[in-house]
Amino acid sequence: MSGHDHDHSSEDRWRHNGVRVIKGDQLDANTAQTPGMFRQAAINQARVGAQKIWAGTVAIEPNAKTGVHHHGELESVIFVIKGKARMRWGDHLEYVAEAGPGDFIFVPPFVPHQEINADPNNVLECVLVRSDNEAVVVNITDVDPVEKPEEVYWVDPIHQEPDQRS
């Protein structure tokens, strides 16, 4: 069969089991939530049949912070679209780093963390992707945060000097 021939059974198969476009105004708020933030699912098992990832958006109001939480065994990636994210993490939220538009944040499994909108005037808007199709959120209520966390910027073997943009 040449590349121009069509297998109609393939067309039918991919019509409903192929690429999906989820419109930004059709996200699902019926997902696990943490106080202080608003998550909406775009990609998950229920919506598109995803087997290995969950993706959606998160919004945090100006000067707001979330409750402390972790995501169990899942890895999370946060991409900042708009605003200034301040991340605190650790058993006592003893570490802190900031990210702005275009920056990626990686959160390993079981790391207690808190997202803070460091902008007093604008909503923090991010895209969130997790390594499983379940929206695992474990909210932690008994954390005694340190008053002044240590600033930590990851330096990898390729980039020896940290990028500390304001």
The pLDDT tens digits for 103-162 are 999 999 999 999 999 999 999 999 999 999 877 888 898 888 889 999 987 777 776 665
Stronger pLDDT, 162 or 19, i.e. the higher one: 19
Answer yes or no: is pLDDT of 4 > 80.
no
- What are the Cα distances from residue 143, in Å, to 66, 108, 153? 13, 19, 23
What are the pLDDT digits (tens) for 66-94? 889 999 999 999 999 999 999 999 999 99
**C-alpha dihedral, 119 to 124 to 130 to 133, nearest 10°:** 150
Asked if pLDDT for residue 166 goes beyond 80, the answer is no
* Distance, CA of 135 to CA of 120 (rounded, Å): 29
Asked if residue 5 has pLDDT above 60, the reply is no
CA distance 33 to 43: 16
Banded model confidence at residue 36, pLDDT cuts 50, 70, 90: confident
Contact 68, 113 (CB under 8 A): yes
Structure token pair of residue 63: 């000067």
Contact 85, 98 (CB under 8 A): yes
In 3D space, the residue among 150, 163, 145 whose CA is nearest the CA of residue 99 turns out to be 163
